[in-house]
């Protein structure tokens, strides 16, 4: 089976995207287009209007963002600085996310992306628009505000995207959308994305799209006999708690051999580094590695010398390994069929297998798709607590003692025990020995992670109330400056530390410095992102001050650092 070579993003190039955009997605570690991208990109590049059915997490942002940037890049001189593309989204949070994604894909293109959303100061946005913005990403209310104040003009718009149109309708933006669309030229190209093709979506599409092509990702049908027979468990954890939750799960499950799936090469490398920094033996496998490296990693995994393989879907495709006890979806797959494919790597040849999924509250709809496709229940798990881990360790100690007694050769220790038996009860001597062995293991136990453990009400046709909370699905006029705090996790802070890849900093250095200097368990450290000249680390808010103070006293990779903290989004 063909596996891609280093830097191979032919999947994106073959869709017809210009070389700089292919390079941009390659730099982000994407290995191949997701199903919605494969279908939607050629349609949009051909200039058609498009009606797309895709939920969050399927890669839909890139599905419209890449063709949009491709179109604008063809001529960057005409209408320079004017709004040439408008993306309407339902929420402030999504506006920020989409603008960030567009900004990343547009790197080096001279195209400016400006988000405009409610709850943020108007004058700041006006200045940004005045400086020139070819791509505007906004919530309907705020876009309309700018139109009324004449701080935004849509007469040069070549492409309009209505993202999460069903959400916008649910939030009562229908009229606002009509007013905004009326300000754009009739010659524009329009794309509309929604989670379903409900009649109201078709009706808004009928109003604003011209003979659109429909893009719907057909779900693979599988014969029940071929479905993977594995226990499926999902843990509902917020973004900031993923690393801690994963450590906890690995400690509890102590998998004989696990494949952990991430979406991109960069995420694979980062998570592998983080796991190794936390003391797990993990190996990375992705399409950006040389064949020789990949063979070496596979050899280690096959011969059970490495128990954890962190991989992208592309790299793991075609791997035939019998002994995988656990498949862990650290990131959700981009389509339910990919999920089925991933979990099929465990439970082979009658062996017992477990498929574990880390899922953010807003991503829970995915679990329904997974249940439908696998025709099995996905159990919502409760993260093991510190007490659970200790209990599990004692059970393991019991087995080990039993085995050790059977193995014999205990004459020396018997003598020692006999002499102690003059002073103490035999049962106390044995209990003390077990406790001593266990104490050293207990040192690695991390603080309890507060996570959601209840099955949320889920619906196929729209996000639940909890989805809205996590995503910031409130009317855009409500400002929010509080740190993120939801039912499933405590508030987190993001620390910006003034060293990064330029100083050869790796996640392990950051974990080491933070855990070592501030004397906190490494498991409570959240997401880590190492950029060129700085790094971002998520920390529970209550520990932030302690960490900032501790880092001021220390050096990372021989460099003194400055640290700034702000609430995590
Ligand atoms: P979206 O559905 O647009 O919210 O995207 C969900 C996540 O998937 C984002 O973090 C993207 O960076 C990531 N993503 C999008 N396209 C790809 C791809 N082709 N390969 C890997 N990750 C992707």
- Provide the 10 A C-beta neighbour count for residue 90: 26
- 319 vs 294, higher pLDDT: 294
pLDDT value for 36: 94
pLDDT value for 455: 37
Q: Is 58 in the pocket of ligand 1 (CB under 6 A)?
A: yes
Helix ranges, 464-522 (H): 465-471, 507-518
Q: How confident is the model at residue 296 (pLDDT cuts 50, 70, 90)?
A: very high
User: What percent of the chain has pLDDT above 70?
Assistant: 86
User: Ligand 1: distance of its center to the CA of 256 in Å?
Assistant: 30
Task: Report d(CA 308, CA 73) in Å as an integer.
Answer: 42
Q: What is the arithmetic mean of pLDDT over 61-89?
A: 96
User: Ligand 1: distance of its center to the CA of 59 in Å?
Assistant: 4
Q: How confident is the model at residue 375 (pLDDT cuts 50, 70, 90)?
A: confident
* Mutate-to-test residue for ligand 1 from 17, 34, 471, highest number of ligand atoms within 8 A of CB: 34
Q: What is the arithmetic mean of pLDDT over 35-60?
A: 94
Closest to 21 in 3D by CA, of 55, 2, 44: 44
pLDDT value for 201: 95
pLDDT value for 125: 95
Q: Is 60 in the pocket of ligand 1 (CB under 6 A)?
A: yes
Tell me phi and psi for residue 509, to 5 degrees.
Answer: -65, -40
- Res. 418: pLDDT tops 70: yes
Q: Is 9 in the pocket of ligand 1 (CB under 6 A)?
A: no
- Res. 465: pLDDT tops 60: no
pTM exceeds 0.85: no
Q: Identify the three-state secondary structure at position 556.
A: strand
pLDDT value for 221: 56
Q: Identify the three-state secondary structure at position 193.
A: strand
Q: Which of 6-10, 333-337, 416-420 has the lowest mean pLDDT?
A: 6-10
User: Ligand 1: distance of its center to the CA of 405 in Å?
Assistant: 53
pLDDT value for 441: 54
- Res. 488: pLDDT tops 50: no
pLDDT value for 278: 80
Mean pLDDT, the chain, whole residue set? 84
Instruction: Delineate the domains of the chain, giving CATH numbers in brackets.
Output: 6-216 (3.40.50.300), 231-381 (3.40.50.300), 387-440 (no CATH), 486-567 (3.30.70.330)
3-state secondary structure 92-157: HHHHHHHHHHHHHHCCCCCCCEEEECCCCCHHHHHHHHHHCCCEEEECHHHHHHHHHCCCCCCCCC
pLDDT value for 85: 98
The ligand 1 atom nearest the CA atom of 97: 4
- Res. 485: pLDDT tops 80: no
Site of tokens 């190794």: 276
Q: What is the arithmetic mean of pLDDT over 520-533?
A: 81
User: Ligand 1: distance of its center to the CA of 333 in Å?
Assistant: 9
The ligand 1 atom nearest the CA atom of 57: 2
pLDDT digits (tens, 9 = 90+) for 336-347: 888 988 998 887
Task: Report d(CA 521, CA 103) in Å as an integer.
Answer: 35
Which distant-in-sequence residues (6+ apart) come within 8 Å of 245 by Cβ? 235, 237, 358, 383, 449, 451
User: What percent of the chain has pLDDT above 90?
Assistant: 50
Burial class (CB within 10 angstroms; exposed 0-12, middle 13-18, buried 19+) of 209:
buried
Task: Report d(CA 267, CA 261) in Å as an integer.
Answer: 9
Element containing residue 566 per DSSP (H, E): strand 563-567
pLDDT value for 395: 86
Q: Is 263 in the pocket of ligand 1 (CB under 6 A)?
A: yes
User: Ligand 1: distance of its center to the CA of 57 in Å?
Assistant: 6
Closest to 285 in 3D by CA, of 310, 322, 307: 310
Q: Which of 24-28, 31-35, 153-157, 395-399 has the lowest mean pLDDT?
A: 395-399
The ligand 1 atom nearest the CA atom of 28: 12
Q: Transcribe 34-100 into DSSP letters.
A: -HHHHHHHHHHHTT--EEEE--TTSSHHHHHHHHHHHHHHT-SSTTTTS--EEEE-SSHHHHHHHHH
Q: Transcribe 342-410 into DSSP letters.
A: HHTTSSGGG---EEEEEE-GGGTHHHHHHHHHHTS--EE-----HHHHHHHHHHHHHHHHHHHHHH---
Q: What is the arithmetic mean of pLDDT over 211-220?
A: 82
- Res. 468: pLDDT tops 50: no
- 117 vs 434, higher pLDDT: 117
- Res. 504: pLDDT tops 70: yes
Q: How confident is the model at residue 144 (pLDDT cuts 50, 70, 90)?
A: very high
pLDDT value for 481: 26
- Res. 6: pLDDT tops 80: no
* Mutate-to-test residue for ligand 1 from 55, 263, 338, highest number of ligand atoms within 8 A of CB: 263
Q: Is 240 in the pocket of ligand 1 (CB under 6 A)?
A: no
Q: What is the arithmetic mean of pLDDT over 202-229?
A: 79
Q: Which of 4-8, 11-15, 482-486 has the lowest mean pLDDT?
A: 482-486
pLDDT value for 467: 32
């Amino acid at each position: 089976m063909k596996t891609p070579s280093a830097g191979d993003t032919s999947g994106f190039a073959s869709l017809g995207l210009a070389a700089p955009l292919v390079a941009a997605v390659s730099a982000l570690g994407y290995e191949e287009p997701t199903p919605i991208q494969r279908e939607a990109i050629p349609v949009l590049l051909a200039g058609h209007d498009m009606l797309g059915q895709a939920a969050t997490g399927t890669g839909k942002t890139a599905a419209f963002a890449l063709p949009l940037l491709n179109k604008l890049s063809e001529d960057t001189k005409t209408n320079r600085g004017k709004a040439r593309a408008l993306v309407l989204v339902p929420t402030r949070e999504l506006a920020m996310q989409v603008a960030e994604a567009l900004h990343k894909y547009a790197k080096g293109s001279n195209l400016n992306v400006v988000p405009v959303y409610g709850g943020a100061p108007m004058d700041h946005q006006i200045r940004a628009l005045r400086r020139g913005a070819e791509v505007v990403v906004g919530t309907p209310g705020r876009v309309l505000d700018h139109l009324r104040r004449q701080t935004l003009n849509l007469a040069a718009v070549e492409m309009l995207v209505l993202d999460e149109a069903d959400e916008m309708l649910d939030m009562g933006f229908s009229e606002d959308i009509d007013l905004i669309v009326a300000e754009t030229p009739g010659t524009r190209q329009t794309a509309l994305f929604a989670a379903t093709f409900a009649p109201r979506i078709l009706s808004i599409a009928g109003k604003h799209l011209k003979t659109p092509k429909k893009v719907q990702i057909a779900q693979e049908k599988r014969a029940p006999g071929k479905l993977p027979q594995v226990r499926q468990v999902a843990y509902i954890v917020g973004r900031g708690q993923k690393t801690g939750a994963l450590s906890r799960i690995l400690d509890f499950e102590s998998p004989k051999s696990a494949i952990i799936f991430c979406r991109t090469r960069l995420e694979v490398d980062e998570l592998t580094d983080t796991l190794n920094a936390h003391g797990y033996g993990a190996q990375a496998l992705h399409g950006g590695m040389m064949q020789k490296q990949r063979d070496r990693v596979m050899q280690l995994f096959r011969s059970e010398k490495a128990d954890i393989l962190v991989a992208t879907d592309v790299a793991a495709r075609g791997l035939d390994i019998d002994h995988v006890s656990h498949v862990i979806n650290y990131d959700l797959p981009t389509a339910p069929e990919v999920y089925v494919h991933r979990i099929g790597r465990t439970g082979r040849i009658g062996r017992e297998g477990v498929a574990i999924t880390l899922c953010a509250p807003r991503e829970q709809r995915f679990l329904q798709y997974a249940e439908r496709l696998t025709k099995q229940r996905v159990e919502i798990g409760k993260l093991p607590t510190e007490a659970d881990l200790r209990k599990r360790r004692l059970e393991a100690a019991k087995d080990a003692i039993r085995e050790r007694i059977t193995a014999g050769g205990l004459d020396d220790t018997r003598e020692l025990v006999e002499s102690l038996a003059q002073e103490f009860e035999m049962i106390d001597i044995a209990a003390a020995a077990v406790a001593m062995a266990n104490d050293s293991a207990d040192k690695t136990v991390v603080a309890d992670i507060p996570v959601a453990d209840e099955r949320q009400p889920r619906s196929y046709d729209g996000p639940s109330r909890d989805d809205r909370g996590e995503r910031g699905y409130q009317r855009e006029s409500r400002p929010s400056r509080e740190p993120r705090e939801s039912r499933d996790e405590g508030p987190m802070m993001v620390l910006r530390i003034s060293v990064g890849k330029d100083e050869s900093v790796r996640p392990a250095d950051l974990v080491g410095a933070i855990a070592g200097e501030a004397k906190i368990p490494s498991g409570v450290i959240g997401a880590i992102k190492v950029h060129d000249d700085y790094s971002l680390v998520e920390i529970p808010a209550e520990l932030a001050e302690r960490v900032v103070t501790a880092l001021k006293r220390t050096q990372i990779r021989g460099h003194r650092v400055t640290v700034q903290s702000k609430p995590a989004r």
